[in-house]
Chains A and B, each alone.
Chain A
């Protein structure tokens, strides 16, 4: 009988112990949280200070860098202006020297060129004159040859043309004669046709009845003489 009470007691004691333990643990945890919150606040404060300090240092560095850059820039501008001035000066000197030298060389070249040109011109004139003379002589010779050939050819052509004209003339004469004969034959034939037609018309109309009868009788007698009615 005691066992259940003992068990209940143990269980009760255990439960109470457990509850106490939990509560103690909760309290301990709460204290740790507060401690952590304090540390966090402390750290946050330190961070803020560090950042502020870093910003101040950064600003200082930037400011110095800008000053330095501006100073460098000013120095470089001055240097560049000097450099440009120097360069321009050098270029002018080189150009003047070059120009002077070119003028000198050009003058020499010009003289040489003039000499060369004159000699070439003289040579060319001489050769041209020679060529023209040769051409003129050749042309004259060829012209003379041509004249002679032309004279010969003209005489020959005249003979050929004369013969050809005679041949053509003979052909034309022959054609005309043929045409004339043909036309005369045609005219004669036409005349005969016309005469024949007129004769026929006149005969047909001019014959009297007795003449027609006579012709028919003659025809029958001729037929008899020729033996047409025999047998």
Chain B
């Protein structure tokens, strides 16, 4: 239903930012003097706007209609809540290209997902992964500790 839109999102942070922008547009519907098209152009990210408008066109919906937009916003929020999210603790905040690489690797494992990335410099490298209640520590720090523990 929102496949194209979710496909453009790599992280939970991006999703939250999109939801914030949609909420801001919805709020503007209550302002009678506001030009809703201009608000949409101004508020949505450049790479998200075509996907959003495309969704409305494909489904023969008028994005300028408050009721239509409200329905979209409500449905999209529900779908977002159900979207699989993988929590990753990394030793650095990866750039978009690295995130794309990570996500691409994960796509082979879990086709539709979001990354919830946290930075913890103490783990040195690698990742701590949490998914659906499971937790695995693949950090470099743990490997170093295990190495020195064996030395005792």
Which A residues fall within an 8 A CB radius of B? 192, 195-196, 199-200, 203-204, 207, 209, 211-213, 215-224, 226, 228-229, 231
Contacts and interface: CB of A to CB of B under 8 A. Distances in A.
Given A203-B144, A204-B125, A228-B131, A222 B98 contact: no
Contacts of B124: 200, 203-204, 207
Contacts, number: 78
Given A209-B98, A216-B90, 6 more contacts: A204-B140, A215-B125, A220-B102, A220-B127, A223-B138, A229-B131
Nearest to A196: B148
Contacts of B127: 215-216, 219-220
Closest 6 CB pairs of A and B: A219-B138, A219-B127, A215-B126, A204-B124, A215-B125, A216-B127
21 contacts: A192-B148, A196-B145, A203-B140, A204-B121, A204-B124, A212-B98, A215-B125, A215-B126, A216-B90, A216-B102, A217-B101, A217-B102, A219-B138, A220-B102, A220-B129, A221-B105, A222-B138, A223-B129, A226-B136, A228-B131, A228-B134
Given A192-B148, A212-B125, A228 B102 contact: no
Interface in B98-129: 98, 101-102, 105-106, 109-110, 121, 124-127, 129
Interface in B78-103: 88, 90-92, 94, 98, 101-102
Contact of A218 (B134, B138, B148): B138
B141 interface: yes
Contacts of B138: 215, 218-219, 222-223
B11 to A, nearest CB: 14
B74 interface: no
Interface residues of B, number: 31
Interface centre among A203, A213, A215 (most CB of B within 10 A): A215
B125 A228 contact: no
Secondary structure at the A interface, as helix, strand, loop or mixed, is helix
Nearest to A228: B134
A228 B136 contact: yes
Contacts of B59: none
A102 B14 CA distance: 146
Interface of B: 88, 90-92, 94, 98, 101-102, 105-106, 109-110, 121, 124-127, 129, 131-132, 134, 136, 138-141, 144-145, 148, 151-152
B92 A199 contact: no
Contacts of B101: 213, 217
Contact of A200 (B94, B106, B141): B141
A228 B61 CA distance: 40
A218 B102 contact: no
A212 B126 CA distance: 6
B109 A220 contact: yes
Nearest to B113: A229
A211 B125 contact: yes
Contacts of A220: 102, 105-106, 109, 127, 129
B65 to A, nearest CB: 40
